[in-house]
A and B are shown apart, each in its own frame.
Chain A
Amino acid sequence: MSGKSIIIIMAVALGILHQDFWNWDNGTLVFGFMPMGLFYHACFSLAAAILWVFAIKCAWPTKLVEWAEQDEDNERIKGA
């Protein structure tokens, strides 16, 4: 399975996990001050950041970026 496919699966999984219906009426206080509904979604934010770390590692559009910067490199070479 390619890196891009894994990222897409992870993103869809996060999209589903965002709908945490099991926490809807859960008023438990985590660490004595943070309602579960807030704690879960703060962790979700961390998970989102980790997903994008993987996305940059595995699905970075290297060829597109090189193509976009190509002329600039040529100009630099010409300038030199």
Chain B
Amino acid sequence: MMIPLLAASTTPLVIIGIYLGLLLALALFSRTLFRGTSTDYFVASRSIGPFMLLMSVFGTTMTAFALVGSTGKSFERGVGTYGLMASSSGLIHAACFFLIGIKLWSFGKKYGYVTQIQFFRDRFESRGFGYLLFPILVLLVIPYLLIGVIGASKTIIGVTGSKGTMPGMFPEFFESTGGAVPAWLTGAVICLVVLCYIFAGGSRAAAWANTFQTIVFMCMGLLAFYLISDKLGGLGAAIQQAKATHLVRTVSGEGGIVGVPPLMFLTYMLIPLSVGMFPHLFQHWLTARSAKSFRLTVIAHPLCIMIVWVPCVLIGLWATGKLPAGTPGGAVLAKTVGILVKDPVVVGLVTAGILAAIMSSLDSQFLCLGTMFTNDVVLERCGRERFTDKQIILIARLFVVGIVLLTYILSIVLFDKSVFDLAVWSFSGFASLTPLVFAALYWEGATKAGAFASVIAAMTVWLYFFQQSGWGGEYTVLNGVMPVAFSFGAGALAMIAVSIASAKPSAETINKFFPDL
């Protein structure tokens, strides 16, 4: 009697194993396309075409939040989740790709940049500015990485753990977790798989893997949507199960936890600006074969967001009538699939989709930190001419290994902390730095002193609110204003005021970045 039960319950894990195997195979295939140069390792020799650029950029910007977070937030706050996080992103992400991405790609191609800091150092005529920006970017990326690894571990615990009276999948192996695959093992597997292909093929492998992962998580989201709505009796019957309070944006519930305050809705629009300063996205932009490759990304990005988020928000709304109110947001999708669909094959496929969304961001972040350490610290300090191209690749690979190891250890140590709450703070931090990149690209009068002042002002205000929030968690002021409104404003004001008052950049720099076209 035990054998069929065991066989059925481990099916999701087998499917996840197949997904990881396919991912590795694809990434190892992309290894055969690796040209062995550092430019290929860092920016895929600037050879990625429109479709892969769209998939890798979209996959990178959509983290675990795309499937898990959207469903959970909709379950908690209701229908306003889409306008709050998705439709604004469709407009603003694409604006960043168009206004910032294409310009940075042009300078990257012209002057051979592979990191943001290289661009800023030249634009603001300051080596020191790189040393100010470098730790800030690294510290803002690390919580983002932890969200991925811890999110993956928690997802697998949810799938393999005990359900009611039924024990977890491996009670004889993992007694302490009630039979669930423990976080240390999931974290190790996820980190190792990502490490394997990033180590082998760098940026090109990441682009191939991201394309596969993005297709997987988009398809699995739609599959979950179809099967759940079918089990609920169709779309019309499904929405009838949602709580009426969740179908509007009006604030309600104890402590106003349902709905969206208008000021929050307005100021949340600044958060998607974060993509303008994500270092991992900058690296993806540089992989584009030509500026024309951006066209599909700019147009299709809002549509891809819609394809993923509308079904997930609807699932979250339907779940309000099925799950108890206190259910953690991160567990809503898995629980809804588990309770309504039950089929272990579907559970495995949807879990693979969630992992795909997580891993498509993780790989780019690992790679970008390795690239930044290599180029902005080692090569900057020691001189590029001291190393051969092969040695540069080796240094980058060693850094990637170190970062993966550090992330893995931190994910174990901080496993019980609510790191998901850090996501919005990480995004707010990057968004607060957007005045810097915008001024650097569009204002000849933006100066070195203005750049220093902008970063210091934005980060000081950000840090103040971060501390006020108790180092993470949802936090607003003045009836719903997001702290990013203040930190972004401080960064913009400091850039303008100090640049006006300080010495202008040299004519050589102006000619370099504002060519007479």
- Tell me whether A37 and B83 are in contact (CB under 8 A): yes
Contact: B310 with A46, CB < 8 Å?
A: no
Which of A23, A26, A48 has a CB less than 8 Å from the CB of B90?
A48
- The prevalent SS among residues of A at the interface is helix
CB–CB A18/B269 < 8 A: yes
Q: How far is the CA of A33 from the CA of B239 in the complex (A)?
A: 6
A18 → B minimal CB distance (Å): 6
A6 to B390, CA, bound (A): 49
Identify the closest chain B residue to A63 (Cβ). B517
Tell me how many residues of B have a C-beta within 8 Å of chain A. Answer: 49
Q: Assess whether B247 is in contact with A67, with CB atoms less than 8 Å apart.
A: no
Judged by a CB distance under 8 angstroms, whether B134 is at the interface is no
**Among A38, A44, A65, contact of B291 (Cβ-Cβ < 8 Å):** A65
- 29 A-B residue pairs with CB within 8 Å: A11-B91, A18-B91, A24-B250, A25-B249, A27-B244, A27-B247, A27-B248, A32-B236, A33-B238, A33-B239, A33-B314, A37-B82, A37-B249, A41-B83, A41-B86, A44-B91, A45-B302, A45-B305, A46-B303, A49-B302, A51-B91, A52-B94, A56-B295, A56-B299, A63-B517, A64-B517, A65-B102, A65-B106, A67-B517
Residue contact A61 to B102, C-beta cutoff 8 Å: yes
Residue A19 at the B interface, CB < 8 A? yes
- Contact string, A2-42, partner B, CB cutoff 8 A, digits 1/0? 00000000010011001111011111010011110110111
Question: In chain B between 209 and 250, which residues have their CB closer than 8 angstroms to a CB of chain A?
Answer: 235-236, 238-239, 244, 247-250
CA distance A42 to B83 in the complex (A): 9
Determine the distance from Cα of A47 to Cα of B314 in the docked complex, in whole angstroms.
21
B87 close to chain A: CB less than 8 A: yes
Provide the bound-state CA to CA distance between A45 and B85, in Å. Answer: 12
Bound CA span A36–B427, Å: 28
Q: Which residues from A are CB-within-8-Å of B310?
A: 38, 42
Q: Is the CB of B303 within 8 A of A37?
A: no
- B515 at the binding interface (Cβ < 8 Å): yes
- Does B59 reach chain A (CB closer than 8 Å)? no
**B107 interface residue, CB < 8 Å from A?**
yes
Please provide the chain B residues from 342 to 382 with a CB less than 8 Å away from any CB of chain A in the complex: none
Cβ-neighbour of A14 out of B80, B86, B91, B266 (below 8 A): B91
The 3 nearest A-B residue pairs measured at CB: A68-B106, A33-B235, A63-B517
Which of B87, B250, B517 is the most central at the interface, judged by chain A CB atoms within 10 Å of its CB?
B87
Could you tell me which residues of chain A, from 64 to 80, have a CB within 8 Å of some CB in chain B? 64-65, 67-69, 71-72
Q: Is B319 an interface residue (CB 8 A)?
A: no
Bound: A48/B299 CA distance, A: 8
| Contacting pair A42 B306 (CB below 8 A) | yes
A11:B95 contact, CB within 8 angstroms: yes
On whether the beta carbons of A25 and B91 are closer than 8 Å, the reply is: no
**CB-CB < 8 A to A44: which residues of B?**
83, 87, 90-91
B290 contacts chain A at the CB level, 8 A cutoff: yes
B322 at the interface (CB under 8 A from A): no
Which residue from chain A places its CB closest to the CB of B250 in the assembled complex?
A25
Which B residues have a C-beta under 8 Å from some C-beta of A? 79-80, 82-83, 86-88, 90-91, 94-95, 98, 102-103, 105-107, 109-110, 235-236, 238-239, 244, 247-250, 262, 265-266, 269, 290-292, 295, 298-300, 302-303, 305-306, 310, 313-314, 317, 515, 517
Chain A contact residues, CB within 8 Å of chain B: 11, 14-15, 18-21, 23-27, 29, 32-35, 37-38, 40-42, 44-46, 48-49, 51-53, 55-56, 61, 63-65, 67-69, 71-72
Q: Is the CB of A35 within 8 A of B317?
A: yes
CB of A38 within 8 A of CB of B313, answer: yes
A15 to B92, CA, bound (A): 9
Question: B109 contacts which chain A residues (CB < 8 A)?
Answer: 68-69, 72
Query: B106: which of A23, A27, A48, A64 is its contact (CB, 8 Å)?
Result: A64
A59 → chain B closest CB, angstroms: 8
Contact call A33/B236, Cβ cutoff below 8 A? yes
Q: Are B290 and A69 in contact (CB under 8 A)?
A: yes
Distance of A53 Cα from B303 Cα, bound (Å): 12
CA distance A35 to B88 in the complex (A): 18
CB distance from B287 to the nearest CB of A (A): 15
Q: Judging by beta carbons under 8 Å apart, are A67 and B110 in contact?
A: yes
Q: Give complex CA distance A55, B290 in Å.
A: 18
Contact status A52-B302, CB under 8 Å: yes
A44–B91 alpha-carbon span in the complex (Å):
9
Measured between beta carbons, the chain A residues less than 8 angstroms from B303 are 45-46, 49
Q: Most A CB atoms within 10 A — which of B83, B109, B290?
A: B83
Cross-chain contact A49 with B299 (CB below 8 angstroms): yes
Find chain B residues with CB under 8 A from A53 CB: 299
Residues on B with C-beta less than 8 A from A51 are 91
CB contacts (< 8 Å) of B292 on chain A: these are: 65
A41 to B295, CA, bound (A): 23
**Nearest-CB distance from A35 to chain B (Å)?**
4
